[in-house]
Amino acid sequence: MLTQPGLSRSDLAVLVDVGPLRPEDVVAVARHGAPVRLTEAARAAVAAGRAVIDELAADPRPHYGVSTGFGALATTSIPPERRGDLQRSLVRSHAAGSGAEVPREVTRALMLLRLSTLATGRTGVRPVVAQTYADVLSAGITPVVHEYGSLGCSGDLSPLAHCALAVMGEGTVRDATGTLLPAADALAAAGIEPVTLVEKEGLALVNGTDGMLGMLLLAAYDLAALISTADLAAALTVEALRGSSTVFDADLQDLRPHPGQAASAANLRHVLSGSRLVQHRTDGVFTRVQDAYSLRCAPQVHGAARDTLDHALTVARRELAAAIDNPVVTLDGRLESNGNFHGAPVAYVLDFLAIAVADLASISERRSDRMLDTARSHGLPPFLADDPGVDSGHMIAQYTQAGIVAELKRLAVPASVDSIPSSAMQEDHVSMGWSAGLKLRRAIDGLRDVLAIEILTACRALDLRARTEPDAAPSATAAAVRAALRAYVAGPGPDRFLSPQIEAAVDLVRDGTLLAAARAALAAHGHDLL
């Protein structure tokens, strides 16, 4: 799983070397504004790659991207005095995005990952280009990039072109304060000289899977925390419904040796440890034979999501180690065309994660619904209402979950199968990975809301259970999570404006407060939350 260190500080520089970045480095720069520094080894590699391009530029024979046009115009020869114009025209024409502006963190991830490829020396840009990208990132300048423009083949062309345009001193950016202004003004204020592109450089700046990869890494970071949150939510619901904990025993999980399932089951066991609400099988005492699937099979579903995330991170780490450009400077000094810019590997796992996200939300909503139904809640009041009939309790909170889950099912429809040809049929099969990344980001937000509502509902159910069963205390971990929630959301009572309570719970999931409360309580008893 992806580790989640404290990344709130923005003064710790991330070093961009010839080798791959870590996923945590991307989150630090993209989300937390960490500055960027190029290593000396990276500078040397970039200079060596540039020497190859300078030699080819002087060769009378045509070389794609150096002395020819691009794509379907690759057979057009470009004279030396027009090659700078060619590179600038490429960037300007490809900066053709439309639609809403993507979040700052997506654009910063995009730029950092392109810089990481530049630093390999395989793209042939000059060192000044790589350094300018590092300077723009460190200054907090963020080019305006739009939702539409990338088909995920030949790289995330339009998003990357908008970034290259800003480095040229053209287009629109936001400064470190978020103010919208012309790129030339932002660069001047930061003391950064605009770059005048020469042979091969425009092409090198727009050919890459950097946008979809950045969104994958950010989504994976968030999803790692949300899967643990799902385990926590499920455990709280098991307590609220007086379910059985025996089903989560390690020997039963070992009969089906999926690592994610084992991890989620361990989380449930640890959270439920010490609870006087859960049912244990005891000789001579009758308990429910088994719980509904949404409780009993939580480790199987959550674990499958964990394993899917691990697979996605394997793909992401391979992509972080890639040097994607077309043409590319090989280690032995050749300039070769290739197809490595195709985003299929990243697009597939983005779509795969969207399926897992939708199912995590689906099973969470089903657990929440059980707590509201007197026929299935084992003694809880209808809809967890304070005064049923007068009050509606959490009835409509479940409607909100249901609406989100329905949306997440639509977002789980894969983008990567929806290829559409472009560039006069030269690019006749594309990945749509950028689109897959955008919809996964929206899905992650929906999952967060659904899980927050389940936790909000389960904590209310635990409070109401205590009214009639004062001796049936929840686990220490559940009590700690409920206390963390109650610092911002009052306990049961007559109906109140519910939306702010939901938003408060969502914020506590987003900023990690509830997970931190659970981890602290578990640590006190020698357990971890995975």
385-390: Cβ within 8 A, 24+ apart: 385/495, 386/492, 386/493, 386/494, 386/495, 387/494, 390/494
Single out the catalytic residue among 64, 133, 221, 348.
64
Query: What is the separation, in whole angstroms, between the first and last Cα of the chain?
Result: 9
Name the residue with tokens 């983008």.
415
Cis peptide before 327 (omega within 30 of 0): yes
- The Cα-based distances of 95 to 81, 102, 156, 206, 234 in angstroms read 23, 14, 11, 10, 46
Q: Tell me how far CA of residue 404 lies from CA of 224, 357, 454, 518, in angstroms.
A: 20, 11, 13, 26
Three-class secondary structure of residue 359 per DSSP? helix
Distance CA 68, CA 60 (A): 11
Nearest alpha-carbon partner for 20 in 123, 112, 116: 116
* 64 is annotated as an active-site residue: yes
Q: Token pair 């979809």 is at which residue?
A: 212
Q: Tell me the Cα Rg of the chain.
A: 27
- Judge contact between 124 and 47, C-beta under 8 A: no
Q: Which residues pair with 182 in a beta bridge?
A: 172
Which residue's structure tokens are 């066991």? 269
Number of other CB atoms surrounding residue 201 within 10 Å:
29
Q: Among all residues, which ones are annotated catalytic?
A: 64
